[in-house]
Structure 1
Amino acid sequence: MADGAARPGAELLAFERFRAASAQPPAYGYGQGGRGLRALRAREFGRLAGTVYLDHAGATLFPESQLRSFTRDLLENVYGNPHSQNISSRLTQDTVDQVRYRVLAHFGTSPEDYSVVFTAGSTAALKLVAEAFPWSRGSLFCYLTDSHTSAVGMRAVAAARGATCVPVRPEALRPQEERGAAPAAVGPDGQPPHLFCYPAQSNFAGTRYPLAWAGEAAAGRLCPAGEGAPGRWFALLDAAAYAGTSPLDLSAHPADFVALSFYKILGFPTGLGALLVHRRAAPLLRKTYFGGGTAAAYLAGEDFYVPRPSLAERFEDGTIPFLDVIALKHGFDALERLTGGMENVQQHTFTLARYTYTALRALRYPSGAPVVRIYCDSAFCSPEVQGPVINFNVLDAEGRVVGYSQVEKMASLFNIQLRTGCFCNTGACQRHLGLSDDMVKKHLQAGHVCGDDVDLVDGQPTGSVRISFGYMSTLEDAQAFLRFIIATRLRPQSSQPGPRAAPGEAGTAPAETEAQSTVPATVPTTVPATVSTTVPATVSTTVPATVSATVPTTVSTTVPATVSTTVPATVSTTVPATVTQWPVGPRGLLYDRSWMVVNHNGICLSQKQEPRLCLVQPCIDLQQKIMVVRAKGMEPIEVPLEETGEWAPICQSKVCADRVKTYDCGEKISSWLSRFLGRSCHLIKQSSDFQRNAKKSRGKGQSAGTQATLSLVNEAQYLLVNRSSVLELQRQLSASDENGREESFPMRDLISRFRANIITSGASAFEEEKWEAISVGSLHFQVSGPCHRCQMICIDQQTGQRNQDVFQKLSESRERKVNFGVYLMHTSLDSSSPCLLSVGSQVIPVLKENAECHDLPAPEKHHDVVS
């Protein structure tokens, strides 16, 4: 449900004022008035310096001492396969059993009442119940519509085995006193078993449902369609989201089945969960498959199989991840030592959530309109009904939703990590956002799928923004988030960076942290051997043009079109030069975006992870067939343009989910980059014989069977930017500046932020979005769509300084969609003769059907180019 704001304002709510207004003093930290928490963060979570991590509902974080303790354990002991009988294996068996006891003790129970079956996570635990429950004709599977996808997915198994699946909306469940006496929990033999499944905490909005429902469900009182139905009821509690920040006492609320994920509680290990099974429900579960370790005896040639006696042994197929299981012991030890217990965690995290909720709902535009729309089922009055989760959408001054993708991109500029979408909970998303079933289907038809960034369809939000707190979260984290909302929605834009903080303090805009204030950050994700500047390019085979020979062509509607490149080039280490033309290959401009820097795991490094990449300056020398790489304080280094015998082939690289064949450019350049960046990395180049096909469909003019090929670009061979569009953006930014200073965003520097390889001028602002195709001399290009911009455009490519104004201004002026520039693909390329893209070429656009663009010349008209 949408919750309105309470009182107008645009200032940050002081925590002391919040504390004074609370009926009971809110609990914060773990003693010493919060000083203990600051010490804990510094000692155990130093890696969070400068980062605001607000996705604990997705995955919480592990403390350093947990890993040190676990590592010491591994170094001091020999743990063998628990299915063997030698000494090291017996040690593993005994240790794993001890961990089972520790898990049950954490949840207030013991092996006398529950069994622990280790699984690959809570999803695997839910799947286990779905497959092992004895469904039959007449069985009912009732599930709360506010359940996680993994719980809703159980209905496919239940329905296939004859059960009737009944979705239950939360508002349909009446309080216990309104439902009357419970029917008999156990029916006569032969009657079908039923199952009720619900989450202890919604992973969408943090709503907490009564743990007492487990007992009511077992009594058959929670499924409206099942009231009075003969048979026995069982309760399945999905505690994955709840258990991360709250105590769960199964002795007081003994659900039949409890699904868990340990990384939600401890941060490490991941990929490990458990199904806790009450002894009364254990005899119910059946399985067909039997794997290694689960059989007491079986025959290979006859249908004879005897399962192991204990539930865990029967259902833990194969060898469990025993080292990960052993890691749990160290995780629970660290959690108890650092916090004093889950009751303290619950109070601390709820205080942070309630404070943030109170401050957030009070924010108003000058008109009195709310800044956010919060989705919740309570007023954050108690941790019994609300978890430390805040779900919301940002609104503009007119009350329209700002797409969650834009909010996430802006948040990243402040080093704030949050989560967006529907959070694997379509039912809750529909309920809170008012999305009908037909609307969800319509969004799918419009191209939206779970997990993408299609945040608005016809102005209707497809999801929302979620922040969540963990036991190591601080008041500074909450206030940094609130300052981010205030700075981006309620304070007039200026050319100055957003809210400042001390170096390394959470919530500081990235360029303002201590490391980044001295090290500019830039470089496209594929780290092409080019750094786009707006220096016009000229070419000569001896003049190294930067890899993205961004030969911008200019198009004129009434004025002759001009073309200039953004490719910086140097003839030598001391003499700068420009290029007037550049060769075109089947993947785009020759050698353009063919290299990228990867870390020691082969993962592409971008300026998001490595700010110092902006200082790397590569240039191409066509005559010598080398790339010269320079950086301040480093001797220039040469890299061959083509593969040599020293290069090692690797095939594990990925670009935009595409697997690409690449070559490692050798140890020499690897050492050079590693020394400069201060981390182990490699330079890799796309193999010349590898063909990566474009995903977009064939454009007009392409013959059947032809398909455009790509270098290491995101989506298309070329990116075109219209100089007039940049001028309009500059005008808007200058108007937002208190003093109207254009020098805050010089044209040269502003153009370079968009890293285009074709720049046009002479057309009206954003006219390029109405083009279907263009011709530049003998070359023909199909427009394949707009370029959806990320927060990278906020980085000054000359200095590496970050400023959110560019992204925010585009978000406001472009109907909250940050599109800028268009993608181009070759519609035909004559490979029999060399092609050149040149400054001064004629540029002719072809309009889309029904596009209104009165200033454009007729397609058959040609214009000379102004030099």
Structure 2
Amino acid sequence: MAGGAAQPGAELLAFAGFLDSSPQPLAYGYGRRSLRELRAREFSRLAGTVYLDHAGATLFPQSQLTNFTKDLMENVYGNPHSQNISSKLTHDTVEQVRYRILAHFHTSPEDYTVIFTAGSTAALKLVAEAFPWVSPGPESSGSWFCYLTDSHTSVVGMRKITAAMNVTSIPIRPEDMWSVEKQDAAAAGNQDCQPPHLFCYPAQSNFSGTRYPLSWIEEVKSGHTRPMSVPGKWFVLLDAAAYVGTSPLDLSVHQADFVPISFYKIFGFPTGLGALLVNNRSAPLLRKTYFGGGTAAAYLAGDDFYIPRESVAERFEDGTISFLDIIALKHGFDALEHLTGGMENVRQHTFTLARYTYAALSALRYPNGAPVVRIYSDSEFSSPEVQGPVISFNVLDDHGRIIGYSQVDKMASLYNIHVRTGCFCNTGACQRHLGISDEMVKKHLQAGHVCGDDVDLIDGQPTGSVRISFGYMSTLEDAQAFLRFIIATHLCPPHGQQLPLATPGEAGAPPTGSEAQDAVPAIVATRSPSPQEDAPPDARVWNNSLTTVHAVGLCPPLLEATGTQLTPSEKAAGVPDGDLGSRVITNLYIYPIKSCAAFEVTRWPLGNQGLLYDRSWMVVNHNGICLSQKQEPRLCLIQPFIDLQRRIMVIQARGMEPIEVPLEENSERAQICQSKVCADRVNTYDCGEKISSWLSKFFGRPCHLIKQSSDFQRSARRKHGKDQPACTTAALSLVNEAQYLLVNRSSVLELQQQLSTSSDENGKEELFPMKDLISRFRANIITNGTRAFEEENWDEVSIGSLRFQVLGPCHRCQMICIDQQTGQRNKDIFQKLSERQERQVNFGVYLMHTALDSSSPCYLSVGSQVLPMLKENTEHDDLSASEKHQDVIS
């Protein structure tokens, strides 16, 4: 970790004092342009949100979108390959945008050409395919492709194209470039007579924010510095995609041969549009193989005759360019200049925020003096020349052990803070900073970890990190809200006292009277959640021709904190009062509509996908995207009830008239549609306009209810670290992971006691009754148990004649923080679980039934005995030696 002075305590670094103590001038904001007014006017959608992923994609201002839309509404833009008036307007406008791009980078059409591409990745691929590589031969060692290991995946991927031509690829570490010795250019010999070589490096690392010297461009090209001692002429590709979003680039001084960029990194909109800026002295070397529409001056369809257009841009822009998106760039440049005054102001502002946050993070210490974070950086954030507004780090516990980035990401989401986690498509930098060897990368792959997943720790070692990055509209409040989040979740005082975050606009937020304000103390008052709205109990009995299914309502009284008080359903099922010696099912829940309220029953049939009708429906938005409580917490207020005899589902919500939906689709009238659940594409049908109107009225936006098609089979893909029997394929409904979720009441009780202790010590009244906690975990099967979290060591479970395989733990997200009776969020539960567990926040276990006799109906019932089997190699501190060797827990 790049150091900062240790400052014990949980108060933020005073911003005014930070500015005064800086050895060099720092600038926050844009002079007389009020940053607070800018945020309110141009980025009102950020209210209550702390967005810190500008290196991933910055955000577009309202005025850019408004002016672009107005432009399209007032003008007719035709295909630029035509010759009519509207097409001529498009052509001239696009050419003006090309000029505007070059002016932004301090150059002109005399020196550079703009080739529009689908993004920086497409620009890199273009160079790889068109560069005049020379294969090795008797008289030449051929071309070399050299790239800095701290490069984006898209740069490293160029080597696959060069490999097909037998061109040597050489990865170069940053430390090797920094330590390379300069040589006399004359000693390099006549470069023009030698094969061409290409050196690629990023102007700014997208992993750590390190800014590499732009002087390397001229040093490599002139022969004063060589990545490798090899005869030939060197060309330089400067990957500027991450750099130009927050910094000016002067191509009149730093004349790289090829410069790929992506415009959404600068403006936020449009996406899917980039450019390759080509030095006109290097452009004639590029070779074209494929030619598409608009690139040919002449060609024959029946003979191998093709003459390319003279313009370099037209020669390489295959097909019709994305001309409307290009026109949007004009409004992007206008807005950026108007709002900030130029890229130099952006560079100073974003660096000031990054340096302040770096200094504050570096100073955070646990009471024992251990650092709270480990920052991965090659600089001390000394100047914007060497460091961009990016901070990559991992959070540590007070023993110096890394807390997985996935857990940090989930906690940040609870505070509505948007960060990026993983390796950020930069494996080379990730390996170097985290100390991950090549062998470890392969081992991680064998363990099931792939780029972009949430597997953050393997054998205690991190697979990636957390990254925050600032943009031109970022504010001091954003930085301080993030710092308060780190303090609140990791610098809790003894005895469980919490340090809650206050985000801008909420009670306890920093003062808003001055933009360059001093930080307020991190300890702020805790706000009590809204009073719970107790839903009225609704007892119903549904009579089926096969069985009597008892439904006991949505919110029955569950076991209280003592663990001995029974619900009416438990008493009706014959559960002995106070008898917790044997494990039995105490509650059964189905969730007919995904993410909506539970429907509690005492006896319920099993289907091939789990409990019958469990997660058979889901609510989708106008684009067909599944809604969950993470995006729409009010889903928990939708209460479904199933009447098996009448073959209907009754849906109700406060303030709405109940509505009925048939349990099965009408195959003749069903409108088939597709949606996705956990990356699985599923066939569904729309339940009709009547229920759609009902849901749209409740949520205040267009929604539809869809049901999984009865003839569609969805199979479980994830193994939860465990091999499923080859003969068993689990069929799934619209659940995320598995057919059943089981929660142990003893585990809930322990969590409740921990939360109660924290509440008592803080002088707060009890906020988490047992029924509230159980409902948050949205399990199907609730059992009693003799030991908290013993279910994590179960291998199989027998319930009556049914056997269930335990697939593994349920990795929890921020949904457990939502009160299922009110839709209000409370962060304490997730934080308390994260304190208990070093890696994933787990609670409950997934089950799959290993055998289901379809010839006769099967049921689960409250009061049924639960017989778990231990894993063979389980270790549990609370188990005696004899208990560890028992196969069945009785």
TM-score normalised according to structure 1 size: 0.91
Residue 361 of structure 2 corresponds to 360
- CA deviation after TM superposition for structure 1 residue 333, in Å: 0.7
The answer as to whether partners of 2:539 and 2:553 remain within 8 angstroms in 1 is no
Corresponding position of 1:795: 818
User: Quick check: 1:26–1:351 contact (8 Å CA) kept in 2?
Assistant: yes
The reply to whether residue 124 of structure 1 matches residue 125 of structure 2 is no
Tell me if structure 2 keeps the 8 A contact 1:416–1:507.
Answer: no
Partner of 2:339: helix, strand, or coil? helix
Partner of 1:411: 412
Could you say what secondary structure the match of 1:815 adopts?
Answer: coil
Distance 1:200 1:505, change over 3 A: farther
Query: Counterpart of 1:320 in structure 2: which amino acid?
Result: I
1:48 is aligned with what amino acid? Answer: L
Aligned-partner SS, 1:234: strand
- The verdict on how the C-alpha distance between 1:704 and 1:578 changes in structure 2, with shifts beyond 3 A counting, is closer
- Contact (CA 8 Å) 2:538, 2:554: kept in 1 or not? no
* CA shift for structure 1 position 731: 2.3
Which of 131, 135, 139 does residue 143 from structure 2 map onto? 139
CA distance in 2, matches of 1:795, 1:416: 17
Q: Which of 839, 846, 859 matches 2:862? A: 839
The letter of the residue matching 1:812 is: E
Question: Equivalents in 1 of 2:709, 2:92: separation in Å?
Answer: 52
**Partners of 2:312 and 2:663 in 1: how far apart?**
62
Deviation at 1:224, TM superposition (A): 3.5
Q: Indicate conservation of the 8 Å contact 1:537/1:569, yes or no.
A: no
> Which residue number corresponds to residue 691 of structure 2?
669
**Partners in 1 of 2:44 and 2:126 — Cα distance?**
38
Of the structure 1 ranges 160-169 and 184-193, higher mean CA displacement relative to structure 2 is found in 184-193
Separation of aligned partners in 2, 1:121 and 1:862: 59
1:699 Cα deviation from its structure 2 partner: 12
What amino acid sits opposite 1:156 in the alignment?
K
Quick check: 1:476–1:506 contact (8 Å CA) kept in 2? no
Q: Which residue of 2 aligns with 1:180?
A: 183
| Residue 592 in structure 1 maps to residue 603 in structure 2 | no
Corresponding residue of 1:264: 265
Deviation (angstroms), 1:701:
12
Which position in structure 2 is the counterpart of 1:165? Answer: 169
Deviations 1:234-289 (A, max 9, x none): 00000000000000010011100001000000000000000000011001100211
Paired with 1:156 and 1:735, the residues of 2 have a C-alpha distance of 58
Deviation at 1:73, TM superposition (A): 0.7
- 1:386 is paired with a residue whose SS is coil
Q: For residues 360 and 309 of structure 1, do their structure 2 counterparts lie closer, same or farther at Cα, with a shift above 3 Å needed?
A: same
Instruction: State the SS of the aligned residue for 2:101.
Output: helix
The aligned amino acid for 1:390 is: I
Pairing partner for 2:37 from 36, 39, 46: 39
- The C-alpha deviation readout for 1:657-683, integer Å capped at 9, x for no partner, is 111011111111111111111111111
Which of the residues 105, 122, 139 maps onto 1:107?
105
1:13 paired with 2:36, answer no
5 Å matches for 1:344-423? 344-423=345-424
Query: Aligned pairs, how many?
Result: 840
1:51 to 49, 54, 67: 49
Secondary structure in structure 2 of the residue aligned to 1:743: coil
- Structure 1 residues 577-656: aligned runs within 5 Å: 579-644=601-666, 648-656=670-678
2:501 matches 1:499: yes
Residue pair 1:5, 1:370 contacting (<8 A) in 2 also: no
Aligned residue number for residue 528 of structure 1: none
Q: 1:699 to 1:588 in 2, by over 3 A?
A: farther
Q: Is the 8 A contact 2:585 2:784 kept in 1?
A: yes
Deviation at 1:791, TM superposition (A): 1.5
Judge conservation of contact 1:546–1:618 (CA < 8 Å) in 2.
no
- State how 1:766-805 maps to structure 2 within 5 Å: 766-805=789-828
Matched ranges for 1:479-558 at <5 A: 479-492=480-493, 498-501=500-503, 503=505, 540-541=543-544
Kindly tell me: are residues 304 and 633 of structure 1, through their superposed partners in 2, closer, same or farther at Cα, counting changes over 3 Å?
same
Percent of aligned positions with the same letter in both sequences?
Answer: 72
How much does 1:547 deviate?
10
The 3 A distance-change label for structure 1 pair 578 and 92 is: closer
**SS of equivalent to 1:499:** coil
Unaligned 5+ runs, structure 1:
522-530, 571-575
| SS state at 1:846 partner | strand
Q: Are 1:532 and 1:568, in contact at CA under 8 Å, matched by a contact in 2? A: no
Q: 1:148 aligns with which of 131, 147, 152?
A: 152
Match of 1:304 in 2: 305
SS of residue paired to 2:271: coil
| Distance across 2 between alignment mates of 1:444 and 1:861 | 35
Residue of 715, 724, 747 corresponding to 2:746: 724
Q: Secondary structure at the match of 1:828?
A: coil
Distance 1:413 1:49, change over 3 A: same
**Contact preservation (8 Å) 1:534, 1:748:** no
**Which residue does 2:563 correspond to in 1?**
none
CA distance in 2, matches of 1:370, 1:536: 55
Q: Is the 8 A contact 2:805 2:848 kept in 1?
A: yes
In the alignment, structure 1 residue 748 sits paired with structure 2 residue 771: yes
Name the CA distance, whole Å, in 1 between partners of 2:754 and 2:775. Answer: 17
Q: Contact 2:192–2:233 at 8 Å: present in 1 too?
A: no
Does structure 2 retain, via aligned residues, the 8 Å contact 1:204–1:422? yes
> What's the RMSD between the two structures over aligned residues?
3.3
> What is the identity, as a one-letter code, of the residue corresponding to 1:763?
T
Q: Distance in 2 between matches of 1:300 and 1:190?
A: 37
CA change 1:858–1:444 in 2 (3 A) is closer
- In 2, the alpha carbon distance for the partners of 1:794 and 1:262 equals 37
Query: Residue 737 of structure 1 aligns to a residue in which SS?
Result: helix
Distance 1:187 1:362, change over 3 A: same
- Which runs of 5 or more structure 2 residues have no equivalent in the other structure? 137-141, 511-523, 559-568, 593-597
Q: Deviations over 1:375-396 (max 9, x none)?
A: 1111111000000001111010
TM-score (normalizing by structure 2): 0.89
TM superposition shift of 1:18 = 0.9
Match of 1:200 in 2: 203
Render the CA deviation track for 1:456-499: whole Å, top value 9, x for unaligned.
11111111110000000000000000010111111247687822
1:630-678, CA deviations, whole angstroms, 9 ceiling, x for partnerless residues?
A: 1111111111111137964233200011110111111111111111111
d(CA) in 2 for partners of 1:632, 1:376: 53
1:295 CA drift (Å) = 1.0
Moved more, 644-653 or 419-428: 644-653
Partner of 1:81: 79
Q: CA deviation at 1:518?
A: 7.0
Compute the displacement of 1:223 (Å).
3.8
Per-residue CA deviations over 1:431-471 (Å, capped at 9, x if unaligned) read: 11111111222211221111111111111111111000000
Q: CA deviation at 1:857?
A: 11
Aligned 1:228-247 pairs, distance under 5 A = 229-247=230-248
Query: How far apart, in 1, do the equivalents of 2:536 and 2:812 lie?
Result: 18
Q: Look up the equivalent residue of 1:314 and give its one-letter code.
A: R
Distance, in Å, in 2 between the alignment partners of 1:339 and 1:155 is 39
AA of the residue aligned to 2:49: T
Conserved in 1, the CA contact under 8 Å of 2:488 and 2:498? no
Q: Distance in 1 between matches of 2:358 and 2:707?
A: 49
Aligned mates of 1:862, 1:384 — CA distance in 2 = 64
Q: In structure 2, what is the equivalent of residue 213 of structure 1?
A: 216
- Could you say what secondary structure the match of 1:476 adopts? helix
Counterpart secondary structure, 1:726:
helix
* Aligned 8 A contact 1:135 1:162 in 2: no
Counterpart contact for 1:205–1:375, Cα < 8 Å: yes
Distance in structure 1 (CA, Å) of the matches to 2:755 and 2:379: 41
Q: How many angstroms apart in 2 are the aligned matches of 1:592 and 1:403?
A: 32
Of 53, 63, 77, the match for 2:61: 63
Q: Is the 8 A contact 2:807 2:848 kept in 1?
A: yes
Aligned counterparts of 2:111 and 2:291: Cα–Cα separation in 1: 25
